[in-house]
Structure 1
Amino acid sequence: MLALPPLSLYIHYPWCVKKCPYCDFNSHETGNREGYIATLLKDLDNELDTIQGRSIHSIFIGGGTPSLMSADELKELFIGLKSKLIFEKNIEITLETNPGTFEIEKFKAFKDIGINRLSIGVQSFQDHHLKALGRIHSAQEASKACASASQIFDNFNIDLMYGLEGQSINSCLSDLNQAIDLNPQHISFYQLTIEPNTLFAKFPPTLPKDDDIWRMGEQGVALLEQHGFARYEVSAFGKIPSKHNLNYWQFGDYIGIGAGAHGKITDINTGKILRTRKAKSPKDYSSNQAGIIEQVENLSFEFMLNALRLKQGFEPDLFEHHTGQSISIIKNQLSQAEDLGLLVINSKQIRSSEKGYNFLNDLIERFL
């Protein structure tokens, strides 16, 4: 019998002021948002039977740019959530925000409504990089938003990219030092990748040499760890790790509501893992929130896909605990990966080595 993991809630808000050229998320330049909160709550109603009274461990409101919501819209959403769900006592509730939409009074109201963690999409503290990335904010606005966040919230994250066009190693480290000086509890530090169906895929920027990008990542990680930001996932560094992130990577369950939202739920009665996904178009979503439900067939791959991203990896017994399968079914793949120096394996832990982290996609594909 599979034990039920913690349950999180992801809420997708699909609108933004301007679509960034690197973004492959389900985001749409601001359109008709009227009635969207009511649609979200209707979507949640459809999910309640699958969770049968389980409490909510964390909530993440992403996008798009959910900070475009008014305080009244967020209040309407939270009144609905609290009437339908059981919140754990120390629930983490994160809202993504763009520094270009940061308003101090509105964010004070957001905190009063229930937001206790911000994730601020800075990406860079240098204007020429922000312009190249299509961001709507300036470096000054980014610094101001983070400084204000530190006064309002006890817990906030800064998103930073590296491997940008024209970026040097010193420029990358300068961004990190500015972020560290703003005293966040968490920094997401990740490499710019060119994703299909984006403007950058059609008109690719000239990125730094691979060796320079490698050094940016290596020296950036060292700098973050030197300042007390523990690396607990490939691109996540925290003095306070994100409960929501950890639940994803530890194969937890999560409801997904909103246009294009995905979910993963363990069926209480059968133990089967179900994946859900909602219509991407806000218009299609508004007329039908049911989405698509699929049973996960390759549980071992799903588990390894998440577990190997974590710095500490996983205890061998957790594989059977979460998948209902003996770890012996992936014995050959584990041995081969260990022989190649991609995994560190002992009786208490299986985790990616430093080499494995650097070639994580190749490592994970071995378990397909």
Structure 2
Amino acid sequence: MSGIYIHIPFCKQACHYCDFHFSTSTKKKSQLVEMLCEELELRKDEIGRNIQTIYFGGGTPSLLNSEELDHIFKTIFEYFKVSETAEITLEANPDDLTEEVIKMLNASPINRLSIGVQSFFGKDLKLMNRAHNSEEALRSLQLAKHYFDNISIDLIYGIPGQSNEQWKRNLQQALELDIPHISSYALTVEPKTALEKFIEKGKVKPVEDEQYREQFDILVETLTSKGFEHYEFSNYGKPGYHSQNNMAYWLGKPYLGIGPSAHSFDGRSRKWNISNNSLYINSIQAGKLPQQTEELSTTDSYNEYVMTRLRTKFGVNLEEIQEKFGEKYKLHFLKEADRFLQDGLMDTSEETFHITPNGKFLSDGIAADLFYIDK
């Protein structure tokens, strides 16, 4: 079973920390939706037609109207066989989620909402230049819960000026709302973003590593003590509410990325579309796919396997390494993993290696040290 990712590259305004591809002008939205459907038809045989997950990301997919959503779904169901149990997620911003919009989404095939709350504090939202305020964040979730059972929210930690007590209050608010899935990310300073410029000019004070670590530890302790499983570094879900879309990525399953800047994976290669709306539209209109392709070597695939699996509850399995990549990579992993076992940052059981609680905040760095480097 495969997945489909649909990138909707439009936003009302630019968040100060965001480096994703989007446009704040929606003049070409209807035309671009038409091209998304054309791309779906052009690529219908690329990864097989049995679909288990559909994910609308962005950008801001909640800017789509009912006609645009209907057109995309009609195209998907025409060219693909979507499982009756498929998880179909739409990312939404709180300010878009009026009761009328939520009812419209509920009447569509969408069965999961991922709502970009980021913080319940107005000062945080203003610093990040979010389009919604704290009252809209609360109201949107209260409304959504009347129509959707499967709801995820995004929360950001490590925000400049955010105390540990405020971070605890953010988490407590999510718990009081009984949200079953939380994705939580550190506020990273990406190149060429407004946030980077503010820090360079001294308008915003950079966050120390200690604050990131303290708030990550608060996050893990708070949610796991309330029945959430920390099943991936940034994701926490109650039983039955883990993101099937994200788990498919981490388990290396194929997916089709549709739209400007969208990435795809077929098990052997990665493809990515051009990050320009006009060039994307022109290319699809000409019947051409505006994409680049990277064929993955065995080493590339091994390194990706280590990176993704160590972030998850699944861990790295030696038998899988042997079967997928060969003896050389298994021996390399064993040799490099030994120091992390000795330091208590990893543990092993039945030939499966996991990051320990002490090592979780360092998981990406640990994975990088376990990579195989071709000489």
Range of TM-score over shorter length: over 0.9
What SS does structure 1 have at the residue aligned with 2:294?
strand
Q: Which residue of 2 aligns with 1:301?
A: 303
Q: How far is the alpha carbon of 1:310 from its aligned partner?
A: 0.1
The one-character-per-residue Cα deviations of 1:202-225 (angstroms, maximum 9, x if unpaired) are: 222214443233222111211111
1:258 counterpart letter in structure 2: G
- Shifted more, 82-91 versus 104-113: the winner is 104-113
Q: Which residue of 2 aligns with 1:270?
A: none
Q: Take 2:259 and 2:244, find their aligned partners in 1: how far apart are those partners?
A: 21
Would you say the 8 A contact 1:316–1:347 is kept in 2? no
Q: How far is the alpha carbon of 1:320 from its aligned partner?
A: 4.1
Q: Take 2:294 and 2:216, find their aligned partners in 1: how far apart are those partners?
A: 37
- Shifted more, 243-252 versus 333-342: the winner is 333-342
Map 1:331-342 onto structure 2 (within 5 A). Answer: 331-342=334-345
Q: Which residue of 1 aligns with 2:216?
A: 217
Map 1:20-31 onto structure 2 (within 5 A). Answer: 20-31=15-26
Q: How far is the alpha carbon of 1:324 from its aligned partner?
A: 4.2
Name the CA shift for 1:253/1:52 in 2 (closer, same or farther; >3 Å).
closer
Map 1:81-100 onto structure 2 (within 5 A). Answer: 81-100=76-95
1:250 counterpart letter in structure 2: L
Q: Which residue of 2 aligns with 1:264?
A: 265
Q: Take 2:131 and 2:147, find their aligned partners in 1: how far apart are those partners?
A: 23
What SS does structure 2 have at the residue aligned with 1:203?
helix
Name the CA shift for 1:195/1:61 in 2 (closer, same or farther; >3 Å).
same
Q: Which residue of 1 aligns with 2:44?
A: 48
Would you say the 8 A contact 1:122–1:158 is kept in 2? yes
Would you say the 8 A contact 1:167–1:208 is kept in 2? no
The one-character-per-residue Cα deviations of 1:55-110 (angstroms, maximum 9, x if unpaired) are: 11111100000100001110111011000111112100000001111121222122
The one-character-per-residue Cα deviations of 1:130-185 (angstroms, maximum 9, x if unpaired) are: 10010011100000001111111010001001111111111000011111111111
The one-character-per-residue Cα deviations of 1:284-316 (angstroms, maximum 9, x if unpaired) are: 111225111221121110111111110341433
Map 1:166-185 onto structure 2 (within 5 A). Answer: 166-185=161-180
Name the CA shift for 1:37/1:359 in 2 (closer, same or farther; >3 Å).
same
What SS does structure 2 have at the residue aligned with 1:172?
helix
Q: Take 1:28 and 1:283, find their aligned partners in 2: how far apart are those partners?
A: 11
Q: Which residue of 1 aligns with 2:144?
A: 149
Give the one of 334, 358, 362 matched to 2:361. Answer: 358
Q: Which residue of 2 aligns with 1:344?
A: 347
Total equivalences in the alignment: 355
Q: Take 1:166 and 1:45, find their aligned partners in 2: how far apart are those partners?
A: 48
Q: How far is the alpha carbon of 1:18 from its aligned partner?
A: 0.4
Name the CA shift for 1:145/1:342 in 2 (closer, same or farther; >3 Å).
same
1:325 counterpart letter in structure 2: G
The one-character-per-residue Cα deviations of 1:33-75 (angstroms, maximum 9, x if unpaired) are: 122222112212232222233x111111000001000011101
Q: Which residue of 1 aligns with 2:227?
A: 228
Q: Take 1:224 and 1:22, find their aligned partners in 2: how far apart are those partners?
A: 25
Would you say the 8 A contact 2:302–2:325 is kept in 1? no
Q: Take 2:236 and 2:144, find their aligned partners in 1: how far apart are those partners?
A: 18
Would you say the 8 A contact 1:163–1:207 is kept in 2? no
Would you say the 8 A contact 1:159–1:188 is kept in 2? yes
Q: Take 2:193 and 2:210, find their aligned partners in 1: how far apart are those partners?
A: 25
Q: CA RMSD in A?
A: 1.6
1:316 counterpart letter in structure 2: L
Q: Take 2:55 and 2:113, find their aligned partners in 1: how far apart are those partners?
A: 10
Stretches of 4+ aligned residues off by more than 4 angstroms: none
Q: Which residue of 1 aligns with 2:157?
A: 162
Give unmatched runs, 5+ long, in structure 2. none
Name the CA shift for 1:338/1:46 in 2 (closer, same or farther; >3 Å).
farther
Q: Take 1:215 and 1:227, find their aligned partners in 2: how far apart are those partners?
A: 19
Q: Take 1:120 and 1:58, find their aligned partners in 2: how far apart are those partners?
A: 18
Would you say the 8 A contact 2:223–2:236 is kept in 1? yes
1:302 counterpart letter in structure 2: E
